[in-house]
Structure 1
């Protein structure tokens, strides 16, 4: 089983356990809304473009809201079953979805009080490395500092940007969430205070 498939199954289980009205770290979205987003992304090619193209976002939101009104259990089942055969994600699942599912899984988990970090298996960590580097280079390029992302064992996984040096240290999963724009993190920042503040305030994510 691929890392994407394993994380899809784990995320579906979490969505079932928290219920449709559970909060998420995606502003204004409940677990129901997040599930609808993931289903539309894979199953509605006419609407998924609006996820990344702002002029089309209104139509995407309309379609997503219609999916969110469906029975929640069936919606989660549809997500868990994977993309339909006609979706590009049927081919790209193992490459395009590990980070998507990991980040959204943590969006659900970390929105609830008492969340604890989870230990990622080696296959998922490996699958997250490429999107971390791609999104990190893009998002940190204009952070106003030379940013090094470093794991707790001292391995530097990415260096990006220019200016005074800032080192961000934490587990690989938290580094992924950082470059994808999340803030519910357990990270250590080391460097000039003004540069650290600029890195924290930088626009990150897609």
Structure 2
């Protein structure tokens, strides 16, 4: 399964980076990302925001990540994420198609959060055609949500491949890039994503101002 493959690659990148490497997630180092992934994979109920404390999940990740500054503790957290839930944990029941639906995009994007951060980002990877097709299909609904408030219409275009309208409008811009680049852009990694914005100059300017805000 693609999610298992990408999880393994993400674990390797986290291990090689160590606890204090930068990521594309604002304010997070790799230890924060490791804390998030460990909690999300093994105890996701702890990340559910409390009505009386909407920032409780962020505070929990900050607290856990503080304990991961030491390389041994960080390595243990990455290993716990890699191993997944144990014992009677109900998360052990998640597998197959459910695992792909829940985790493939999560792992892909967070892997790029590690790979493309810092002063010497790594270049985009050559992904299998079957995987890029899966990413394109799975990211469609999220893209519609991500661009729901865009001031102009939005059309996603894969070079020499499919296209789709994710936001209707009298005037539209085209976002051109590979499926993973489109996903990164939609998920807020806009400076790191290799996506080209084209259209009428006023529409492009309006969209870029919205995307930067």
TM-score range for the pair, normalised by the shorter chain length = 0.7 to 0.9
1: CA distance between counterparts of 2:75 and 2:125? 25
2:204 matches 1:196: yes
2: CA distance between counterparts of 1:57 and 1:65? 14
Change in 2 beyond 3 A, CA 1:199/1:111? same
- Where structure 1 has 5 or more consecutive residues not aligned to the other structure, the ranges are none
How do 1:57-68 and structure 2 match up within 5 A? 57-68=54-65
Task: State the secondary structure of the residue aligned to 1:72.
Answer: helix
Match of 2:99 in 1: 93
- Where structure 2 has 5 or more consecutive residues not aligned to the other structure, the ranges are none
Task: State the secondary structure of the residue aligned to 2:144.
Answer: helix
Instruction: Report deviation, 1:187.
Output: 1.6
1: CA distance between counterparts of 2:177 and 2:52? 37
Match of 1:139 in 2: 146
Change in 2 beyond 3 A, CA 1:149/1:26? same
Instruction: Report deviation, 1:203.
Output: 5.7
- For 1:45-87, what per-residue CA distance to the aligned partner results, in whole angstroms no more than 9, with x for missing partners? 432212xx77544332343234321401111111112344412
CA contact (8 A) 1:167 1:189 kept: yes
Match of 1:108 in 2: 114
Could you tell me the TM-score, scaled by structure 2's length?
0.84
1: CA distance between counterparts of 2:172 and 2:207? 10
Match of 1:72 in 2: 74
- Say which one has the larger Rg: 2
Match of 1:38 in 2: 37
Change in 2 beyond 3 A, CA 1:131/1:107? same
> Aligned Cα RMSD in Å?
2.3
2:185 matches 1:178: yes
1: CA distance between counterparts of 2:84 and 2:38? 9
- For 1:76-126, what per-residue CA distance to the aligned partner results, in whole angstroms no more than 9, with x for missing partners? 111112344412772432211011111111111111314211111234323
Could you tell me the TM-score, scaled by structure 1's length?
0.87
